Amino acid sequence: MQHILEGNRRWVESRLAEDPEYFHKLSQGQKPRYLFIGCSDSRVPGSAITGTKPGEMFTHRNIANLVVPTDMNMLSVLQYAVEVLKVEVILVVGHYGCGGVAAAASNKQHGLIDSWLTNIRDVIRLHETELLRIHDEDQRLRRLVELNVMEQVRNLAKTNIIQNARTKPNPPQLHGLVYDISEGILHDLEVDTRDLDEFSHIYSTISKPAAPLDPQVQAEVQQQLQQQHSKGKKQEAAQATEQNEAKQTA
Ligand SMILES: [Zn+2]
């Protein structure tokens, strides 16, 4: 514990040496541009690997950087970041050598976390054909790390928080990245969530208003309705005449 407190004192001194107003400015509030959703792995600290400073990046971390639609913790962070802080960019950051991803790829029990890892097993099922084509196990796991990040970015796009934000000006951009611990480099996976558009009839939580009818089509529909109406009137009149005739004959 002493190590932590001493480290903190040294850090405070170094900040103040750079800017005597550093902590006073930070205490005035936060306006981060980024939301970082990353793995809890101690080797992947969001601010350090992106060179961002305190105040620039709102952060949520869990094992294997998952965006689980029933995770109230993640959803609360996401809603606050999008609707209150109005972050401009959301980063889902995975990393090669992720223990969570490797555990999910094994057919072993790991205790409580097995339920959490089921979310990654679903990613494996979705992309099984591609993964089975990769014979080298390390390469297959690296690809699974990437596919997992891509699916988590898509999961963001499935939330009503992001869908609502996209109906307004300047919605946050969604990005998926993978961090290579062995070289320290972040790679952009260039995830495009527009491929979800073909499933919008399934995932959209916003009912689109019906498009207004073309004026010519509208006129034709009106004409058909009038014809049906007058046809109905003629039939009614014919029936009434038949009934009257029947009564008179009786
Ligand atoms: Zn990890």
68 exposure class (CB count in 10 Å sphere: 0-12, 13-18, 19+):
middle
Give the integer Cα–Cα distance in Å for 90 and 37: 8
62 exposure class (CB count in 10 Å sphere: 0-12, 13-18, 19+):
middle
Whole-Å CA distances, 67 to 2, 94, 205: 36, 12, 17
Q: Give the DSSP H/E element, type plus range, for residue 197.
A: none
The Å distance, Cα 201 to ligand 1 centre, comes to: 33
DSSP string, 6-43: HHHHHHHHHHHHH-TTHHHHHTT----SEEEEEE--TT
Q: Identify the pLDDT of residue 97.
A: 97
pLDDT tens digits for 51-97?
A: 999 999 999 999 999 999 999 999 999 999 999 999 999 999 999 99
Q: Identify the pLDDT of residue 226.
A: 81
Q: Annotated catalytic residue: which of 10, 43, 110, 121?
A: 43
For the chain, give the percent of residues with pLDDT over 70.
91
41 among known catalytic residues:
yes
**Where are the chain's structural domains?**
29-203, 211-250
10 among known catalytic residues:
no
pLDDT tens digits for 99-121?
A: 999 999 999 999 999 999 999 99
The Å distance, Cα 49 to ligand 1 centre, comes to: 14
Q: Identify the pLDDT of residue 122.
A: 97
Closest CA to 62 of 107, 141, 115, 138: 115
CATH class of 29-203: alpha beta
pLDDT tens digits for 176-230?
A: 999 999 999 999 999 988 878 878 888 999 876 555 567 777 777 678 778 877 7
Q: Identify the pLDDT of residue 248.
A: 66
114 among known catalytic residues:
no
